[in-house]
Amino acid sequence: MTFRKEDLPAFSKIDPLNIKETVEAALAKNQTALTQLLSQAPDTFSWKTLMAPLEKLQNDLNKVWSPIGHLHSVMESEALRKAYNDTLPLVTAYYTALSQNAHLYQAILNLYKSNSYKDFSDAQRKTIENELRDFKLAGIHLPPAEKEAFAALQQQHSQQTTRFSENLLDATHGFSLAITDKAVLSGLPDYAIQLAANHAKQKNLEGYLLTLDYPTYSTAMKFLKDRSLRKKLYEAYVTRASDQGPHAGKWDNTAVMHNILNTRHSIAKLVGFQNYGEYSLATKMAKKPEEVLNFLEDLAARSRPFAETEYKELQAFAERTDHVTDLAAWDVAYYSEKLCEATFEFSQEEIRPYFPIEKVMQGMFGLVNKIYGITIRPVPGVDVWHPDVTFYTIHDENNKLRGGIYVDLYARTHKKDGAWMDDHSPRHRSTTEELQYPIAFLVCNFMPPVDHRPALLTHDDVLTLFHEFGHCLHHLLTQVDNLSVSGIHGVPWDTVEFPSQFMENFCWEKEILNALSSHVETGEPLPDTLYKKMLDAKHFQSGLQMIRQIEFSLFDFLIHLKFNPEEPDQIQSVLDSVRKQYSIVQPPAFNRFQHSFSHIFAGGYAAGYYSYKWAEVLSADAYAQFEEKGIFDHQTGLSFLKNILEVGGVPDPMTAFIAFRGRKPTIDALLKHNGMATIS
């Protein structure tokens, strides 16, 4: 069995000129159906006559809006941006009105209090509990005037976060650096120089063009010998969409960020919370701000001695090799790469030829076949948004269809930076008993193929791919049929990174790397000597990396926890304070990292960036079970599938973890996996 054509979005038929009209029609259809549905008395409903029709309405609208939102992220154009921004307020208004509908709230509340509630499935009960919680978070208890204020704030927030994202996209693609003398690019790998030449040709320029797309930028910062050129690129990158740098004041997110925080703070206050930090925890595994702060501070205390030692080693190395006594932010990646090479005779670039992307994909699919018994196959002829995109189906060991996944791997213009997973549709069984299979988007920004050679990945790229694929598996392998707790839906945000980070662990196993690797010229798998070097370098600067993530997490949580609308420049002052207390590498004054921190200002991680470390504790401890039983142990894989991947947002995350592991997780597993287990 596979997907029917009508099950999949028709991307080629999405015309920016018709988007608003199409969405308006879908919204009107939903509104009419909702009015008809709620014409009954609130106390006469059952699951079949209330919740099932509501799920269908949500599903129908999502299938219209999701492909449009996705295209806005991966294939943006001026016309699409305008259509998206014109239509977004309508969608926001619809969902806000739905979340404040007193008649609907009363109907669901009555269902919760009814005698039949005890007979509902776990997924049905969880759906209702989440709905009642979300009604309160949307201000269902507020008087009419304050409900209107809440709705206005929701509109502002959706528009502000979109503006942040668009400013960042424009700033990233608005900078390029033309180079005419190839000697200036000394140190860059050949493929990176060729890519820069290709970029220049696309712009009808002679020579080479360096851009700020992440594969180009990160490679340049690691390998460019010219220190002044590294500084120029660094300054352009860390000042994107800000009041500093080469485009100072253009696409500036300074006011946008303040407005986003102010709007979030107002939303939280309006519904009875002291701040947005507390508001955000209402839907997370952690319940009190102190839990988050204590966790991060404990992790920082354990990591800091390692980070300090690592930075001193880096400073000494830069002085010893190049007489650099003033190690700057734009030097850190360069000398870190050189130090890693000198210490372990290892470089990420040395292993890149062993990871052609098609081989990596085949190996990754083979791995999950061994562990979970699932088979992943490409499907030709599917309507996609770009020629580089491939659609795959997933079948279980009984050859039953479980879901589909669109994979878009390469960086290009008009595509948001970074890597992410999103869903087009969740698993859902409608009132007609016809099962809707889940569909996911997997998006990365890897360096594309150059001159007829296949795209080649670093090991870091492989980790990124496995991470996003882990999110996809979490969504696609669910066995929950209720829309709002199916797959990734309804999963507390500080747990949602668990299955994705769990997948990264497999990328360090030799047997798996053999299946992922095939030298682009010789076909040989990753040799044992190179694998040993890679393993020796696994924990290189892990303390610095840990402290950096803690810095981001604390900054995010504190600006939401302690935001004061009356205090100017608060974002910068909080960041400066966090850096002063926790950072090892102090950035220059012009650094405006926060202006491009889209995870928290344009994504779902507001007051939740700590989730990466919180979930890493779970993933490290869960993977230890595979290490104990055997990484390919099918029974352990089936247990993880049953207790973690298939259950969606139904059980309490800790209950689900204990069902798999047999006990609660410990922070020691995380420290061990990061090479820092000796600190007590």
- d(C-alpha 383, C-alpha 12), whole Å: 7
Q: Please say whether the beta carbons of 264 and 560 come within 8 A.
A: yes
- d(C-alpha 621, C-alpha 670), whole Å: 7
Angle formed by the axes of helices 214-223 and 227-238, nearest 10° = 150
- d(C-alpha 676, C-alpha 680), whole Å: 9
Closest to 162 measured CA to CA, from 416, 412, 411: 416
Closest to 591 measured CA to CA, from 256, 260, 245: 245
Integer-rounded Cα Rg, in Å, for the chain is: 25
324: phi then psi, degrees, rounded to nearest 5: -85, 110
Closest to 69 measured CA to CA, from 443, 467, 422, 428: 422
250: phi then psi, degrees, rounded to nearest 5: -95, 135
- d(C-alpha 475, C-alpha 499), whole Å: 10
Catalytic, 290? Answer no
Closest to 175 measured CA to CA, from 255, 228, 239: 239
Neighbour order of strands in the sheet with 390-395: 375-378, 390-395, 401-410, 439-446, 420-425
Distance of CA 120 to the CA centre of its chain: 33
Instruction: Find the catalytic residue in 55, 310, 468, 551.
Output: 468
DSSP readout, 563-630? --TT-TTHHHHHHHHHHHHH-SSPPPTT--GGGG-HHHHTSS-TTTTTHHHHHHHHHHHHHHHHHHH-
Q: State the first-to-last Cα distance of the chain, in angstroms, to the nearest integer.
A: 53
* Three-state DSSP state, 368: helix
Helix runs in 373-477, H state only: 459-476
The sign one gets for the Cα dihedral 265, 266, 270, 271 is negative
- d(C-alpha 669, C-alpha 272), whole Å: 38
Closest to 484 measured CA to CA, from 132, 157, 151, 39: 132
Burial category of 290 from C-beta neighbours within 10 Å (exposed 0-12, middle 13-18, buried 19 and up): exposed
Three-state SS sequence of 94-125: HHHHHHCCHHHHHHHHHHHHCHHHHHCCHHHH
Burial category of 171 from C-beta neighbours within 10 Å (exposed 0-12, middle 13-18, buried 19 and up): buried
Active site (catalytic) residues: 468
